[in-house]
Homo-oligomer: A and B are copies of this chain.
Amino acid sequence: MDYRFARRMTCAPPSFLDRLFAVSKDPRIISFAGGLPATRFIDVEGIREAAARVLAEDGRDALQYSTTDGYLPLREYISRRYRQRLGLAIPPEQIQIVNGSQQCLDLVAKIFLDRGDTVAMERPGYLGAIEAFSLYEPVFRDVALGPFGPDIDEFSRVIRDARPKFFYGIPNSQNPSGQTYSPEARRAVAEVIGDSDTLFYEDDAFGELFFDGKPRPPVAGLVPDKAVLSGSFSKIIAPGMRIGWICAPPTVLGRFNCAKQAADLHSNFLCQKILAAYLETHDLDAHVRRIARAYGENCRLMCEILDDDFPPGLSHTEPEGGMFLMVSLPPGLDSHRLFEEGLRKGVAVLPGTPFYACGGGESTVRLNFSCMDAEQIREGMERLSGVVRALLP
């Protein structure tokens, strides 16, 4: 039978993820292609205790329906943490719980984008955002992201000329590039946004994971009325609970709440309570420091091997945090060929093309460094180096 699907479904970019998932299950392949946080840093024992406490003391409430905005003590924790870490005053009333930051991507797009509206983002930009936004049939514009942030001339021009409904960016340790906006770039971006009617959608999934442990102040703090800011517990506690949040000005949050209610009433209440109970009794700072230190060591190792053992003509970003870096391949080397050939030699990389909303990226690959140990990185990078050498013209 011919199903009469909506036109928007033809806008969905072809997904690479099924292929990737198969790769991640193959024990012969060392995968730098995925995006999982390190399983060894998930505090299963702590979460087990928190779950037992919630279900013993407060089970009936935790298992019943709840409100769309989310569990107040959890929103209060997030609010306090913004104040303590970043000096930001974001009251709990301006915070709403969602199913991981991915749901923010869907719902922010839903409340702002009509078909044909312009949305702008970084080049390269986050694949999950491109997938979510595409289903609202927007026109994409992109702005080159460099080692210090977006190209400010291009950014101003795009904001001024295309008047995007919002600009989506990840100023801290971006996925896929690992790049971080400099303080100057943050101010410059905020200034352009302040003079425009474009919102800044700041995705801060990685802001807790700077290798030096120092926070970087969000752009949203400079333009609070013109920004939405999302965060997530997925990278710092556990992705399987699917708990993230959004901060937004009251008018925006009201519409967001309406869309969230229509989407799924509210996020998993049991896990919101478990998370709040866990955070009450655990030192998140110490936990996050351990993760960031380990990721930093992995990242440095990977960069050293790229610098020392790979052929010239290849370059890479130098992340200050997060879970990813991006490699630009020597001329003539296509990332999809590298992907296919890598699989045959037991190493997986993620071709950069799905991160380019407006096309491009054929000579880039994303490498993940969060979920393996030094030995696997050495072995995987040796395989990859061999593949690169073999493919070079």
**A interface residues (Cβ-Cβ under 8 A, vs B):** 1-9, 12, 15, 17, 21, 35-37, 39, 42, 44-45, 47-48, 51-52, 55-56, 59-68, 98-100, 102-103, 105-106, 110-115, 117, 128, 131-132, 134-136, 165, 197, 199, 225-226, 234, 238-242, 249, 251-252, 255, 258-259, 261-271
Contact = CB atoms under 8 A, between A and B. Distances in A.
Given A106-B264, A239-B64, A255 B48 contact: no
Contacts of A267: 99, 242
A135 B110 contact: yes
Contacts of A114: 6-8
A271 B56 CA distance: 16
Contacts of A261: 15, 17, 131
Nearest to A197: B4
Given A55-B47, A199-B3, A264 B102 contact: yes
Contact of A242 (B135, B238, B266): B266
Contacts of A106: 262-264
A210 to B, nearest CB: 22
Assembly stoichiometry (copies): 2
A64 B51 contact: no
Given A3-B199, A6-B114, 5 more contacts: A5-B111, A42-B64, A47-B55, A52-B52, A99-B267
B67 A21 contact: yes
A291 to B, nearest CB: 14
18 contacts: A3-B249, A3-B255, A5-B112, A6-B113, A7-B114, A9-B111, A44-B59, A45-B59, A48-B59, A61-B240, A62-B240, A63-B238, A99-B268, A102-B265, A106-B262, A131-B261, A132-B262, A241-B268
Nearest to A137: B114
A378 to B, nearest CB: 24
B262 A242 contact: no
Given A5-B111, A52-B48, A255-B5, A131 B262 contact: yes
A66 B100 CA distance: 13
Contact of A268 (B51, B112, B135, B271): B271
A269 B42 CA distance: 14
B262 A110 contact: no
A235 B331 CA distance: 59
A290 to B, nearest CB: 16
B66 A240 contact: yes
A181 B115 CA distance: 38
